[in-house]
Chains A and B, each alone.
Chain A
Amino acid sequence: MIKRVELVLIILILCGLITGCYDRKELDDMAYVVGIGLDKGEANFLRITLQVAVPMQIAEGGDPEDTYFIETIEAPNLYEGLNIFNAFLSKQVNLSHVKVIVFSKALAKEGLQVYMNEIMEGREFRPSVHMVVARDSAEEYLKEIQPMLDTNPAKYHELIHKSYLYTGFSADTRLHNFYIETNSEYIEAVVPLSGVKQNNNNNDSEEPTSEENLEAEEPSEEEAEVDGELIGLAVFKGTKMVGELNGEETTYHLITKGDLGHSYLSIPDPLAKDKLILLKISQDRKPEYQLLLYNNKPVVNINVILEAHLFAVESNVPYDNIKNLEVLEKEAEDYVKREILKYLHHTREMEVDINGFGGMLKKNFTTWMEWEKFNWLEKYKESDFDVDVTVKVKSSGAIIQSIPGNYREERKEEQL
């Protein structure tokens, strides 16, 4: 009987001890960071911006602007900066809910190796954190985002980074795959480019755009006071940014990689001059690749299959007839093929394989040392591309048969 009592007492004490009380932290005692911005500061310092959630406002469903606040300081590195934040914030900074890390373009061009090492060492950063490169300043980007439709800033970041699935204008780059791709021997990394849309003003870019940097194309719809936008990709060679892809090129990057959800494409009307046709394209199958070496020169064969839905025809040409549809499909295929080749040539000029074609070559080598010696990333600039595109127009939306285009004019003539 005594032994049993002692045993129960020991178990009860142990239960208390193994709950980790020493590391106890109250949920309310922490400041949850949802976004981190890193810019170049003065005198080799890092300018760190934190977007901190205000849980009480989120819970009460308050004004979206009140659900977070932004603070900026300068420090030699990220963790010393967080230490400074801890000195003036009433709660300890907690990074386990960080949804996005924004780097300025200036930092990205210098190289992110140092920052990546710091971030990867941190136990609180999750591998699913989104990465963004801000065209101007990370601080400005975080300040100017105004989530109109979400009271929860974390949810805003999660959803905006999924928008590539239905816009085709960005990609989903997380900490995990960015780190792997910057250390990879067959693929280079891309990161969504963000900017602050200043209506009718030119962007105040800190860096002069190089010949290789193309201006991001804006979506056709006019936007009111929308601020942060994700259009285009920053292209990296290792951990250094070497170029950009605009919105259209990003769509073709997604198509070539097989990551496109759906997007809209305007192509010239093959049967009506100066008119456009709007297609909604989607990709249900991954592209097929083949990589061959001819005299040590790589040739990449890509076979892309897209589905399209006819959304709008500016002209009066009836595309519900099969013959015209075939012409449209051919036009779409040629158009997409041209654009994909343009995009691939751009990546070749930048000397970056951001599609990971080199992964196909790995099985041709027996050992890792042979593969390393081959040095695919340097060979990529010698590549040739052969692209085949198949576009199948599946439907014309809700309209199955159109009225002949000049119906009203013909009727008028008859009546006259």
Chain B
Amino acid sequence: MIMESRLSFGRWEAITLLLNTICVQIFIDFPRVMAEEGATAGWLLVLYNSAIVFFIFSFILKLFLKFEGKDLLDISEEIGGNVLRVIVGFFIIIYFAFILSMVLREFGEGMQVIAFPESPLNFIIMLFLVGIIAGAYFGLESIARFHVLAVPIIIIGLLIILLSVTQYYNFSNLFPVMGTGSYNIFINGFHRISTFSALIILFIITPFLKTHKDLKAVGFTTIGMAAVLLTVTTIIYLVVIPYPVAVESFIPIYQVARLIDIPRIFERIESVFIVIWTGSILLYLSVAFYFLVYTFQKTFKLTYYRPLIIPFAILVFNFSLLPDNYLSTVHLEAKYFSNFAWILAFGMTIILLGVGNIMKNKRQKGTGESD
């Protein structure tokens, strides 16, 4: 705990950490989900969600002014004491435990289909759990610093895949421009801001960022870069694999990578995809797992977090094996995560900060002091 209070990292570390955490969905099923939701306008849905998150974040930023250097747990303790801190911490723990288990399961299933058809699922999941445990032991600073090295390589790898299939581009696949219709995109599609729910990590790492200015820079840069990556990926996916076939693909970007074929020169490039896919997911899982144990530690004011790593790893491993199959996992994620994650990440944050700001203003008026 003493080490963590001295811990800090720069803007670029925070940006790459958050960027990978948000954009890892590209390597799971994000483009397919956007195609399912918006049809040929899946990319428009991404842009729309990005714009909403941009405004929500601007609003949250203003509310954070009075709480510089404090995270959600600190703020909730300030508002409602230990009880509120535990309640908020509990929700954040559920969030991380859920998404971690689901992504770990989806990843394991994906690896089984693509690369290891004979290997038992729990063997694959366990192996990656070892990597996640190692990341958690090394700590956030190591994880963040590793992101600085790995994330640019991952982005370059992704762009190479997307640009290598230009022969399949057919821009008429983006028409009709409104896809499933404006109601489906702008009203029903609102809950898809859950795509950016990983920004909750930003509201937890505020003590590690030096100033409010850093928080602002990291937030806006991350949202901007994530919006570009998510939109470009969705557009290229749709122009290569048109709707309605686009909703069928298992791990869409892998299917795109399989199309790269220059006979006897470049073949089977999807093996490179597996490397960047695994790298991105492993980094994401490390981050999510770290914040799971960190949040638990902070919620219950424990001195150390390392003793929690193994028990939580066992819990996450078992949770990941609970769904019967891949389809159940996807269904659970679609039903619960995408519908409610935004409420936690943005709704809860705004409520806490809003109440906190009101209480601070009242206190200031009462005492006549200025902060």
Contacts and interface: CB of A to CB of B under 8 A. Distances in A.
A300 to B, nearest CB: 15
Interface in B312-329: none
B115 A20 contact: yes
Interface range for B = 20 to 34
A375 interface: no
Interface in B114-172: 114-120, 123, 127, 130, 168, 170, 172
Given A23-B115, A368-B176, A14 B259 contact: no
Contact of B172 (A158, A359, A369): A359
Contacts of A18: 127
A14 B176 CA distance: 50
Given A14-B130, A123-B114, 10 more contacts: A20-B119, A23-B115, A23-B118, A123-B117, A176-B259, A180-B242, A184-B242, A362-B172, A362-B176, A366-B177
Contact of B116 (A20, A362, A367, A368): A20
Given A123-B113, A128-B261, A368-B243, A23 B119 contact: yes
Q: Tell me the dominant secondary structure on chain B's binding face.
A: loop
Given A14-B130, A176-B259, A363-B172, A23 B178 contact: no
B258 interface: yes
B347 interface: no
Contacts of A41: none
Contacts of B245: 179-180, 183
A15 to B, nearest CB: 11
A156 interface: no
Given A23-B116, A23-B119, A127-B258, A367 B181 contact: yes
Contacts of A123: 113-114, 117
B26 interface: no
Contacts of B180: 367-369
A363 B41 CA distance: 12
Q: Which 8 residue pairs across A and B have the least CB separation, nearest first? A: A362-B175, A359-B172, A365-B176, A22-B119, A128-B261, A368-B39, A363-B175, A367-B181
B178 A367 contact: yes
Interface of A: 14, 17-18, 20, 22-23, 123, 126-128, 158, 176, 179-180, 183-184, 186, 359-360, 362-363, 365-371
B197 interface: no
A20 B128 CA distance: 12
Interface string B181-204: 100000000000000000000000
A183 B242 CA distance: 10
Contacts of B219: none
B311 interface: no
A161 to B, nearest CB: 10
Nearest to B175: A362
B221 to A, nearest CB: 33
A369 B40 CA distance: 11
Contacts of A363: 172, 175-177
A367 B242 CA distance: 15
Counting chain B CB atoms within 10 Å of each CB, the highest count among A20, A23, A186, A368 belongs to A368
Counting chain B CB atoms within 10 Å of each CB, the highest count among A17, A126, A367, A371 belongs to A367
Contacts of B181: 367-369
B172 A360 contact: yes
A180 B181 CA distance: 23
Contacts of B115: 20, 23
Contacts of B120: 22
Contacts of A360: 172
Given A366-B176, A370-B176, A17 B127 contact: yes
B179 interface: yes
B263 interface: yes
25 contacts: A20-B116, A22-B116, A22-B119, A22-B120, A22-B123, A176-B168, A176-B259, A179-B245, A180-B241, A180-B242, A184-B242, A186-B172, A359-B172, A360-B172, A362-B175, A366-B178, A367-B178, A367-B179, A367-B180, A367-B181, A368-B179, A368-B180, A368-B181, A370-B176, A371-B176
Contacts of B130: 14
Contact of A126 (B176, B177, B242, B258): B258
Contacts of A365: 175-176
A180 B168 CA distance: 11
A376 B327 CA distance: 34
Nearest to A96: B268
Nearest to B270: A126
B354 interface: no
Contacts of A14: 127, 130
Contacts of A158: 263
B10 interface: no
B224 interface: no
A22 B172 contact: no
Nearest to B185: A367
A367 B181 CA distance: 5
Nearest to A366: B178
A362 B176 CA distance: 6
Contacts of B118: 22-23
B244 interface: yes
Counting chain A CB atoms within 10 Å of each CB, the highest count among B40, B113, B120 belongs to B40
Contacts of B127: 14, 17-18
A179 B243 CA distance: 12
Contacts of B123: 22
A362 B179 CA distance: 11
Contacts of A23: 115-119
Nearest to B181: A367
Contact of A128 (B119, B177, B241, B259): B259
A176 B170 CA distance: 14
Nearest to B259: A127
Nearest to A159: B263
Contacts of B244: 183
A14 B241 CA distance: 37
Contacts of A180: 241-242, 245
Nearest to A25: B118
Contact of B170 (A126, A359, A367): A359
Interface in B242-256: 242-245, 255
Counting chain A CB atoms within 10 Å of each CB, the highest count among B114, B168, B172 belongs to B172
A127 B267 CA distance: 12
